[in-house]
Structure 1
Amino acid sequence: MGILLGKTMDENLKKQQEFMLKTSVIQMERQIQMQNQMRERMMAMQIARARDIFVWFGSFYTLASLGMIAGFSKQRKPTVLIPALPLTFLLAYQYDMAYGNKMERMRGEADRIMDTEGIMLSLPHGLPTYSSIEAARLDQCDKESLS
């Protein structure tokens, strides 16, 4: 009777461990999926922001260019057109960010950095551990209780 009860307890323990493992895997997959969806939403917002800035800056650029051309036609001084050069570079950069493939190039560069310069990405003192987080939490609780 005792041996039968021991086998049942071992089987239950193994089933419970398998269940806990499956549950933790599902939880991790959900967290990864949630983080990816949040990242995608943030990237979409950045692209939308770049496009909005491009519209506003494009309007400014058009008005400023018309003003510079009008000033040049009246004064016949080429110095009036000098601001057009940096403004053109800024407009081209913003267009590339909003509608071009700048994001793809940036992703490619990020991949290269991760592959060849991974040391630049390491955190000071390494990854946080459970014990370091718990120690900081307890330290914070102690400071709050003293206050």
Structure 2
Amino acid sequence: MGSTITNSMKENQKEMQKEMQKKQLEMMLKQRQTQLAMQFASGKEFFNWFASFYALIFPLCILGALKKKSPFPIIPLIPLGFVCGYQYDMYYGDKMKRIRLEAERLIDNEPQLFYFPKNAHIVSQEEYEEILGINKNKK
């Protein structure tokens, strides 16, 4: 009778551990999602302010170029336009999707990029590969 109670307690303990790990993972994923959402929302807000600035400065630079009869006032519009385009693509286009696909490709095809330096004393390269399940035969 004592052994059945002990076995039952061990099973309950294992179930509780699994449930606790599941809850910890769920909390971690929700926290990650919240942090990413905050960063993304912040980026969108910054883009809105930057685009407003660009929309204001654009006609002023054009007017300055016409008034001075020189193309120099237009020059700042070029790099600012690239920055504005990049931010638009990041927050309203599909840049995040392209970044995620490239990250997946790097993890799959070039895992050696993420190895620790030899003297880091965190984990050895073999332990790292074992933990992440990296196939040593794969290039």
Q: Under TM normalisation by the shorter chain, which class is it?
A: 0.7 to 0.9
- Counterpart of 2:26 in 1: which secondary structure? helix
What is the match of residue 131 of structure 1?
none
What is the match of residue 83 of structure 2?
90
| CA–CA separation in structure 2 for the residues paired with 1:126 and 1:111 | 23
Gaps of 5+ in 1: 1-7, 128-147
- Counterpart of 2:123 in 1: which secondary structure? coil
| CA–CA separation in structure 2 for the residues paired with 1:61 and 1:25 | 53
Structure 2 letter corresponding to 1:23: M
Q: Which stretch has the larger CA shift, 72-81 or 117-126? A: 117-126
What is the match of residue 38 of structure 2?
45
Gaps of 5+ in 2: 125-139
Following superposition, the deviation at residue 36 of structure 1 comes to 0.7
**Aligned match for 2:16, one of 23, 34, 46:** 23
* Contact preservation (8 Å) 1:68, 1:80: yes
Q: TM-score, normalization: structure 2? A: 0.79
The runs of at least 4 consecutive aligned structure 1 residues that moved more than 4 Å come to none
Q: Which stretch has the larger CA shift, 37-46 or 108-117? A: 108-117
What is the match of residue 73 of structure 1?
66
| CA–CA separation in structure 2 for the residues paired with 1:86 and 1:42 | 30
Q: Deviations over 1:12-52 (max 9, x none)?
A: 11111111110010001111111111111111111101111
Q: Which stretch has the larger CA shift, 15-24 or 115-124? A: 115-124
Q: Deviations over 1:54-82 (max 9, x none)?
A: 01101111121111111011112112211
Larger RCO (alpha carbons 8 Å, 6+ apart): 1
The count of corresponding residues between Structure 1 and Structure 2 is: 120
What is the match of residue 52 of structure 2?
59
Following superposition, the deviation at residue 119 of structure 1 comes to 3.0
- Larger Rg belongs to: 1
What is the match of residue 123 of structure 2?
126
**Aligned match for 1:108, one of 101, 105, 118:** 101
RMSD: 1.5
Tell me which protein shows more helix as a share of its residues: 1
